[in-house]
Structure 1
Amino acid sequence: MSRRFHVVIAAVLAFALSGCTFNGIYDLPLPGNKVSKDNGFEISADFSDALNVVPRSAVMVGDVPVGQVEEIVRSGWNARVKMLVRNDVVLPDNAVAEIRQTSLLGEKYVELSAPVGADGKPAGTGKLGPNDVIPMDRTGRNPEVEEVLGALSFVLTGGGLGQLQTITRELNAMMDGRTDKMRDVLTQVNTLVGTLDSQKGDIINALESINGLSQTLVSEKETIGKAIDAAGPAIDVLRDQHDQLVGMLAELDKLGVVGTRVVNATKDDLIAELRHLEPVLRNLSDTGKSLVPGLVTASSYPFPIDAADVIKGDFANVVFSMQVKLTPVSEGGLLPTTLDEIVTLCRGLPTAPICSLASGVFDPICALLPLLPLCEAADPESLAANGQPDTLLHDLLTGKSGDSGAESDADTGSNGLVDLIGGLAGGGKR
């Protein structure tokens, strides 16, 4: 016993005489530690709670020790753990640090790992290097045994279990005798949920449309505000003129009653007039594009519409060339040569009623004046039936004297009134 005591005393004295300082048990090397500053680099991680992590605690990657905790210092209201890891450790610069436990009652250690992406695979960028700091948003810890047991004791000692018993008892009392109704309600809820699930695409589209509308309203909120501000004075005017508006609507109601009565009384005639107007409008529609040019040309008759471009000043020199051809009615013209043609032409004019009454007057005239050119086609038997004309009147009309053997102006080319009437009637000289 004394020998061992002497060995310890000798070791302590040798360490003291070496001139090195001793900071406690943490300065003693742990068995199996192969990390030193020569073959490792230092990193740090910030934790909101470092639990029971102490210097010399292990640092692991995939349950393999790769370093140790060097120091734990305060950083504000949080703990900063400084670690020394081997140079051959390759981790992304966004690595995650968590405090875990080797077993239920085992020691704490720091687990370093790469972050996991949405597909469940490691998603890291860059490389973790010396003096890098892992922030608190990428650090965490596992629940402590004391926390788990405390929560379990709260559930078991009148907490959640007691409340669950009360809830179960009340549900049984509520559903007692109402099972059919509850089953029907659950069936309807199931149908509702199934309908909503089948229409979730439409619901999502509607929500996206509402979102777009909301964004539009937000972007136009200044314009909407100005519109609402401008509507204020208009509303004040409408409020001040409320009585006048009510009176106007009352009079408008009376006008509607009168208008209804008028429409009911005249609708049959109006429909008939519209039906009569339909052929006219249809013909106007059938004219197409030729109606407007025709109206423009008619308004400028007898001058073409381009004549305005050649008129300079107040005067215009215009030369008209007119050719008149007197063609008998029998050849398609308008010049009558017989009494029948006169009657035919007269009956084609607005004076047709007068011509019909006077159609029997020409026979006595031709009997009296058989030498008229228009009476050339008269029937001789008709003239004999009506008698010979008076000789004096005959001589007057023909320009002859009472002496049948004497010659008059007829020899010189004049037949008196007969020639005059014949010329007016278009027969010319016999």
Structure 2
Amino acid sequence: MDNTKKEWLGLPLNLLWGYIAIAVFMTGDGFELAFLSHYITELGFTPAQSSFAFTLYGLAAALSAWVSGVVAEIITPQKTMKIGFILWCVFHVLFLTFGLTQSNYALMLVFYGIRGLAYPLFLYSFIVVIVYNVRSDGVSSALGWFWTVYSIGIGVAGSYIPSLTIPWVGELGTLWLSLVFCGAGGLIAWVALRRVNTPTHMHTLTTSQKLKELSRAVTLLYTNKNVLYSCIVRIVNTLSLFGFAVIMPMMFVDDLGFTTSEWLQVWTVFFATTIFSNVFWGIMGEKIGWMKVVRWFGCIGMALSTLAFYYIPQHFGHNFYMALIPAIALGIFVAAFVPITAMLTTLEPNHKGAAISVYNLSAGLSNFVAPAIAVLLLPYFGTIGVVVAYTALYLIAFLITYFIKVQQPGFETIPANVDEISTT
């Protein structure tokens, strides 16, 4: 494997078109996030029915994300991305044609649920491509760019473009337009990644051996305690991201007098900040050490910015510009967990696909745990109770990092779990 490819600020140029494919594909996949739930209710279905459709979709996506890394190793990332791309396009068309257009709830659930399997196969398989085509001491930076193009696609372009197209072609027309973006992203990846290095060590395995490797996505959690600890830290990583999306609209709009548009702009600034912070912390992880970045800037940074996201608006009231301060801080520090993927693949160098699957599982569990904590605590302790719980979990994650033992490439003489803050 040639690991000497050119790069720019940690971006591997040999994979540039792959990154572009991710951004374009996730733009199309993100179109529906801002309006599909409301559109389903406009068709005559109840909010509960709409929510159940998204719950089913999320469950399918979580399961797919969990196994995507191992599947990509077994059959190659390119084939896995191709399967995800084709699944998405086929079942999106079926979802629109026989589900939404016909207002057939049963078919909506079937086709939307199956489509939920698609995007993780496409998205997370590219992480395997990165791991096998980038020097081990450059994986963190490369993954920082991965999450950056992901944010550009699903978080920026995927939200902004529908605001322009819905007044023009309506919700259904916009959903058809998303097929163009996902189709373009899939085709770019199909062509651009044909000749990149792929893992081949599992191609000769028997079916039973492949199933055993697939099971490692589960067994690594109890056979490698460092993987388990890293998994817990990754779950904590995005608690505020997913949790604040649920609880903060109520505080900002209902309690502090912000308009819905103002709140959405605050949240957009947060997401836009991650575009730059993902790259920054990916590079810094290679410069000062993965664990320093995760421990001090991830765990402690998120603990402080989580508190600030509550207390600064509470102190200054309806002040849009002051509310941007904690939003930017949150966007800066939530990305400081980027090195965890590189840590996991280093902890399991012979089973990188399984390690990536564990990472994907952790991300999915964070999406579930964050609102679950809010649901449990809000009735009894209010918004501040949820904020304190998230803060406490970031501090617990800080302590857990001291139990993770991982040797970072390029830091041969200094373990990656040392706690000094000085630059190496």
TM-score w.r.t. structure 1 length? 0.14
Between Structure 1 and Structure 2, the one with more helix by share is 2
TM-score w.r.t. structure 2 length? 0.15
Higher relative contact order (CA 8 A, sep 6+): 2
Structure with higher Rg: it is: 1
